[in-house]
Structure 1
Amino acid sequence: MTLQKTMTGRAWAEMILLGTIWGGSFLAIRIALDEITPLTSVAHRTGWAMLVLWGVVAVMRLPLPRDPRVWIGFLGMGLLNNVIPFGLMAWGQLHIETGLTSIFNAATAIFGVIVAALFLADERMTTRKAVGVSLGFFGVATAIGLDNFRNFDIRSLAQLAIIAGTLSYAFAAVWARYFLAGLAPQVAAAGMLTGSTLITLPLAWIVDGPITLDLAPATLGAIGYYALIATAGAYLLYYRVLAVAGSGNLMLVTLLIPPVAITLGAIVRGEALSPNAFAGFALLALGLGILDGRIWAWLRRRR
């Protein structure tokens, strides 16, 4: 079982801030999608965040990697951790609610455990992990709803696209272990965003036309939020929280994101989720809690 670091008040505050920032990103993306396409929204997100993070690297005077293998790693990481999940989730948000997207996004940790067990020798599947993953899968299936399995439509496809995005995140974590181990996190994040921008910028230009900033103020504000704050700023905050709270505690951020996204979606866009979405999130949260280790330890003590 993963040992948990003791959480200080500051660590809790920073973790709640990170969950709130990421929770708000779902609404910001949906607002931008009222005017721009999913592909262009991803190009904005990775491009502007890339510039900010390279600025941070320059200010910190961090050494740049010279090994070509690392730069290949950046390109693969950008594809798996940005291009595929950002693109699939942005497209999916055109057809389902903001809050529901955030619930499916919480399944990232579930798929991460499975993929890590398949490809990493030190991440074997234990009984605790198997129970947590199983509950997580039941939660995802419940959130989708049986009707969407019986009557396959664009909404069903959108939900599956978002789940495929979470699976891509899981493969990205394994890719990072192989190609980016030992790098300063700021350099790794900037390099990853460079790799994704090298893919999304020309692709969006070809498919959607030249990238423009001649957009409505609401769209520009949304892009600024999800690119500069919820991507560049959140990456920096993420690594800070990871250092003070540990990876075990950081999983709790996953549970903070959906309530923020659901609330904002309801207030700003009038979204209402079905009861099965909330039931699915409850099961998914229980599965994540077991993966976290604390609930499992409590059950073992009770037994």
Structure 2
Amino acid sequence: MSTATPSPTHAPPSASSAPSGTPPVATPALAAARAPRVDWRVRFAVLAVVWGFSFLLIKVGTSAYAPFQVTFGRLLFGTLVLAAAMAVRRTGLPRGIRTWAHLTVAAFFLNALPFSLFAFAELTIPSTLAGICNATSPLWGMALSLVALSEDRPTRRRVAGLGLGFLGVLTVLGAWQGFSGVDAAGTSMALLASLSYPIGWIYVRRTLAGRSESHLSLTGAQLMLATAQLAVVTPLFTSWPKAFPLAPLVAVVALGALGTGFAMLVQYGIVSEVGPTTGQMVTYFIPVIATAAGVTLLDERLTWNTPVGALVVLAGAALTQSRAGTAPRVPRPEGRGRRRAQR
């Protein structure tokens, strides 16, 4: 669920969509000392599973707790994980009123709003559908970036991917049969949640890109602010739970500690090691795992158009993220350039 750190209910950030500091120059000795003990492919698989299961955990959590309570618990336990990581690495919080103001906006669009919308959505739609709706985030991001980011130019391939992706959404929802059997309100909230992520990423890119603080510092502060936002909203719209059933409680704790805090740490580790292009590929595995988890563990019904539409959505999302290769420029011989200049 994605952030300046995405989370599945996240799509992962690209190099320019999340705040980044300037990494130190890595010498061979330093690189060897910092080499991760676990291969990035293993961590990639773990991240896909954790984020894929997040939709199932939301479904289990909302079976006993109000959506705002699930979201608050998720943010709280996620923040505790990042706070512990910051303490271990002796990472301080960012400074400056403007930085905190920008992080407050980012916390709303990347955490508080989408997490809450997914929790409310899963009151009426299956976790499989929520996971597939989350996969539309790159489609929304591409559409918004064409309007908001002047450096992102449309290409035939990316426009085709956008159209293909939304055709996949219509397939998932069964548009040819009048969207029968699909809860319109819940589906709309899940799609709005996926739209919220690229809005947040574009805002972060415009306001926080190039900051000297580390990813951990900015993300930790962002999650703290999102937790504070839900701490204000939750008591206003919910009452204290009368009971704390074990399974939903464990689901909320796991959703926060693993699906948010731990997943963010793993995601940024992968991106820093193999780059954002490979790191963001985890997005395409999340709906597959979410669907498998919902069908096998929650006995959710699966019709043919759901997996077929999901594959179309993922194909379209992949096209929107691809860029056509450009031929390298071959410099002209210096002598020829001089002769032409003299002429």
TM-score, normalised via structure 1 length:
0.88
Q: Which residue of the partner structure matches residue 93 of structure 1?
A: 122
Structure 1 unaligned spans of 5+: 3-8, 298-303
Displacement of 1:213: 9.6
Cα contact 2:94–2:221 (8 A) shared by 1:
no
Cα contact 2:138–2:321 (8 A) shared by 1:
no
Q: Deviations over 1:109-134 (max 9, x none)?
A: 11111112211222222222211111
Separation in 2, partners of 1:62, 1:150: 49
Label 1:28 to 1:213 Cα distance change in 2 as closer, same or farther (>3 A): farther
The equivalent position to 1:172 in structure 2, one of 200, 212, 222, is 200
The equivalent position to 2:188 in structure 1, one of 160, 163, 166, is 160
Give matches, 1:137-216, under 5 Å: 137-146=166-175, 149=178, 155-181=183-209, 182=211, 183-210=213-240, 214-216=243-245
Separation in 2, partners of 1:17, 1:124: 34
Label 1:30 to 1:175 Cα distance change in 2 as closer, same or farther (>3 A): same
Separation in 2, partners of 1:286, 1:142: 13
- Name the SS for the 1:239 alignment partner: helix
Separation in 1, partners of 2:283, 2:178: 26
Separation in 1, partners of 2:182, 2:95: 45
Is 1:46 aligned to residue 75 of structure 2?
yes
Is 1:82 aligned to residue 95 of structure 2?
no
- Name the SS for the 1:251 alignment partner: helix
Cα contact 1:112–1:167 (8 A) shared by 2:
yes
The equivalent position to 1:254 in structure 2, one of 259, 275, 283, is 283
The equivalent position to 2:43 in structure 1, one of 11, 14, 17, is 14
Label 1:147 to 1:126 Cα distance change in 2 as closer, same or farther (>3 A): closer
Large movers: runs of 4+ above 4 Å: 147-151
Cα contact 1:180–1:188 (8 A) shared by 2:
no
Label 1:154 to 1:137 Cα distance change in 2 as closer, same or farther (>3 A): closer
Partner amino acid, structure 2, of 1:41:
V
The equivalent position to 1:55 in structure 2, one of 84, 87, 110, is 84
Separation in 1, partners of 2:190, 2:275: 27
Number of residues of Structure 1 aligned to a counterpart in Structure 2: 288
The equivalent position to 1:238 in structure 2, one of 249, 267, 273, is 267
Structure 2 unaligned spans of 5+: 1-13, 15-37, 326-343
Separation in 1, partners of 2:73, 2:184: 27
The equivalent position to 1:228 in structure 2, one of 251, 254, 257, is 257
Label 1:230 to 1:259 Cα distance change in 2 as closer, same or farther (>3 A): same
Task: Flag the structure with larger Rg.
Answer: 2
Cα contact 2:71–2:230 (8 A) shared by 1:
yes
Q: Which residue of the partner structure matches residue 300 of structure 1?
A: none
Cα contact 1:213–1:220 (8 A) shared by 2:
no
Displacement of 1:168: 0.5
Q: Which residue of the partner structure matches residue 157 of structure 2?
A: 128
Higher helix content, 1 or 2: 1
Overall identity of the aligned pairs, in %: 25
Displacement of 1:214: 4.9
Structure 1 stretch 269-278 or stretch 18-27: which is displaced more? 269-278
Displacement of 1:148: 7.2
CA RMSD of superposed structures (Å): 2.2
Q: Deviations over 1:141-167 (max 9, x none)?
A: 21112167566x871121111001111
TM-score, normalised via structure 2 length:
0.78
Q: Which residue of the partner structure matches residue 54 of structure 2?
A: 25
Q: Deviations over 1:214-263 (max 9, x none)?
A: 51110121011100001000000110111122222223211111121111
Structure 1 stretch 98-107 or stretch 191-200: which is displaced more? 191-200
